[in-house]
A = this chain, B = another copy of it.
Amino acid sequence: MAITETVDRILDAAEILFAEKGFSETSLRSITGKAKVNLAAVNYHFGSKNALIQAVFNRFLSPLNDLMVIGLKANRWGEKDGNIPTIEDVLGLYTRSLLKIPTRHHNGVSIFMRLLGLAYTQSQGHLRKYLEDEYAQTFWPFLSLIKQITPELSTKERFWRTQFVLGSMAFTMSSIQQLTDILENKAGSTPNPEEVVDYLVPFLAAGLNAPSVKKVNVSSD
């Protein structure tokens, strides 16, 4: 066996640097430098830089997947009839699962959320394919619940509203540090991800619960 410490050191350094600078902007030399390991160690253990990026995600996604499964079973939703959760319940379950992911740093969750946001926008091809395979199964029960709760929405509108939710979450979390910096110039507090989530959930819930669009007509002149 011999669980190598080098692998963890590389992953620890990589996830921080990736979150700070992005994937392309982070060199293997800066990672191995921060991790205090040899440059060749990355290619030895992971094979390539792209494989390292995926490994960083995998360390978050695996426990998240487990937490979602556990959370769904703990509550008696899903199969039972008449026991329909509210949207707040579903969003709360998901965000709380996110916050429960065990991490090495106290900023672990925001790092993961930022990485997710980066992955969505930078969209490196290989990462997108990997996430579609790996993340989709984690997301499937979430989408299923949303569908169960909003039966009056058309498939199309539900799809887009779900994307709006994901967009708000990923975007906010991915830039939470920069946004916090801006806010500190006005107020004096330093919000943590948990606090932001408390603001985020009712916002998204109201959006999901909004009445359906029939015919939009916003012509002004």
Contacts and interface: CB of A to CB of B under 8 A. Distances in A.
Nearest to A125: B21
Interface string A183-221: 100110101000010111111111111110100101011
A203 B207 contact: yes
Given A22-B122, A167-B167, A206-B207, A161 B74 contact: no
Interface stretch (A41-49, A104-112, A171-179): A171-179
A75 interface: yes
A159 B186 contact: yes
Interface string A145-170: 00000000001110111011011111
B213 A164 contact: no
Q: Which of A128, A174, A191 has the most CB of B within 10 A?
A: A174
6 contacts: A25-B124, A117-B121, A120-B175, A164-B172, A198-B218, A207-B207
Given A25-B124, A92-B218, A160-B172, 15 more contacts: A22-B24, A22-B121, A24-B25, A74-B221, A75-B220, A121-B121, A122-B122, A156-B187, A160-B196, A160-B200, A164-B199, A164-B200, A166-B171, A198-B218, A207-B207
Interface of A: 22, 24-25, 74-75, 88, 92, 96, 114, 117-118, 120-124, 128, 155-157, 159-161, 163-164, 166-172, 174-175, 178-179, 183, 186-187, 189, 191, 196, 198-211, 213, 216, 218, 220-221
